[in-house]
Structure 1
Amino acid sequence: MTVRLHPLRIAAQIELISLIAMLANLATAHVKPISSLMGPTHGCAYLFVVIATWRLASATATTKAVAVIPGVGGLLALRRLHRFRVKDETPPAPRGQ
C-alpha cells in the first residue's frame, strides 16, 4: 500500500510560509489584516500537519513528536518519513554464495 504524502507536503509548506509572513509582519508594519489572515491559516495548516502525521501508520513516535514543532515540524516529519520509506523500499542485498 502506498502512502500519499502530497497533502501533508502542501500543508507543511503553507505552515512554514504563513509563519514567516506573520513574523515578518510583526517585525515590520504589523498590518492587522495580514495578522487576521495569516493567524488562522497557520493554525489550520499546523493542525492538519499534526493530525495527518499522527494518522500515518508508517510514522514512528519520533516522527510524530517532530510534527508537533510549529513552523518546521511538518517539513522535518516529511523528511523522516521519506528517509525511512526509501530505506524500507530498498531491496535487501544479495547474500554471498
Structure 2
Amino acid sequence: MTPPARATSTLFVCLLALSIAEVATLGLLLLNLAVLHIRPIAQLIGPVHGAVYLAVVMIAVFAPGLRRRDRALGFVPVVGGALAVWRMRRAVAPPTL
C-alpha cells in the first residue's frame, strides 16, 4: 500500500527542510568553535542541532512508504537526512534515457 501523495510530499518537504537545518546548525557550531568560541552560542545552537537531528531520525523511522535503507540513512548524523531525501527523490523520479 502506498501512502497518499500529499502526505508523502509534505514529509519530503519537511525532511528536506530539517536536513538543511541540521547541516546549517552544525556549520554554525563548527564556525563558532573555530573562530569565535563564544560559549552562549554553543549552548544555544547545540541543543537545536540535537533536536533537529532527532526530528530527522523520527521522520525517517515513522514516515510511511520509505524503504528500510532509507530509514537506516536517517540515523546517519549530519548527512542522513540529505541522503534519505536524495533516495526518496530518486525513487519518485521517472527514469531518464
What's the TM-score bracket when you normalise by the shorter of the two chains?
0.7 to 0.9
Report 1:1-97 matches (<5 A).
1-2=4-5, 3=8, 4=10, 5-87=12-94
C-alpha distance after superposition, 1:35-67 (max 9, x if no partner): 011101101110111100111222111111111
Q: How many residues align?
A: 88
Q: TM-score, normalised by structure 2?
A: 0.82
The secondary structure found in structure 2 opposite 1:43 is helix
1:29 to partner: Cα distance: 2.0
Bigger proportion of residues as helix: 2
- The structure that has the greater radius of gyration is 1
CA-CA distance at 1:26 after TM superposition: 1.1
Deviation at 1:82, TM superposition (A): 1.0
Alignment RMSD, CA only?
A: 1.4
Structure 1 residue ranges, 4+ long, deviating more than 2 angstroms after superposition: none
Query: What's the counterpart of residue 94 of structure 1?
Result: none
Q: TM-score, normalised by structure 1?
A: 0.82
**For the residues of structure 1 that align with 2:83 and 2:91, how far apart are their CA atoms?**
12
1:93 matched residue in structure 2: none
5+ residue gaps, structure 1, are: 91-97
Identity of aligned residues (%): 32
